[in-house]
């Protein structure tokens, strides 16, 4: 199943305009599996505060994540983060990718 996805779904691309949520940076929009828009939130925001995950899912309506797909998407995100950061010499961001892989390995 594919759904409309943003492609870079995270708080830096959300604007609060007088209580109305506005979304910016739609350059990566496409139809993909729903897990695509959750994976960065899972690595960044949900990890730092699990209450954010519950609130997001409450607003979303239901949890569309398939367990197997969710794991594969997270592995791809972690490897992609570490590899891209290595290529551009961003050691701190590379460490984020490695930490994500370590969490997946121990989960």
Backbone angles phi, psi at 29, to 5 degrees: -55, 140
Q: Tell me whether residue 37 is in a domain.
A: yes
Q: Tell me whether residue 82 is in a domain.
A: yes
Q: Tell me whether residue 98 is in a domain.
A: yes
53: which DSSP letter? H
81: which DSSP letter? H
Q: Tell me whether residue 77 is in a domain.
A: yes
User: What is the span of the domain harbouring residue 86?
Assistant: 33-106
Q: Tell me whether residue 24 is in a domain.
A: no
Each residue's pLDDT tens digit, 15-53: 999 999 999 999 999 999 888 888 888 888 998 888 999
Each residue's pLDDT tens digit, 74-105: 999 999 999 999 999 999 999 999 999 999 99
Q: Tell me whether residue 9 is in a domain.
A: no
Q: Tell me whether residue 26 is in a domain.
A: no
**Model's pTM, two decimal places?**
0.78
Total domains in the fold of the chain: 1
DSSP-based three-state secondary structure for 75 = helix
Considering all CA atoms of the chain, what is the largest pairwise distance in Å, rounded to the nearest integer? 42
């Amino acid at each position: 199943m594919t759904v409309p996805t943003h492609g870079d779904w995270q708080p830096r691309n959300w604007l609060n305009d007088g209580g109305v949520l506005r979304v910016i940076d739609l350059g990566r929009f496409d139809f993909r599996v729903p897990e695509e828009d959750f994976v960065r939130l899972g690595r960044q925001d949900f990890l730092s505060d699990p209450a954010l995950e519950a609130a997001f899912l409450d607003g979303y309506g239901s949890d569309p994540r398939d367990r197997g797909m969710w794991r594969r998407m997270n592995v791809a995100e972690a490897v992609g983060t570490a590899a891209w950061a290595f290529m551009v010499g961003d050691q701190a961001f590379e460490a984020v990718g490695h930490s994500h892989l370590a969490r997946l390995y121990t989960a």
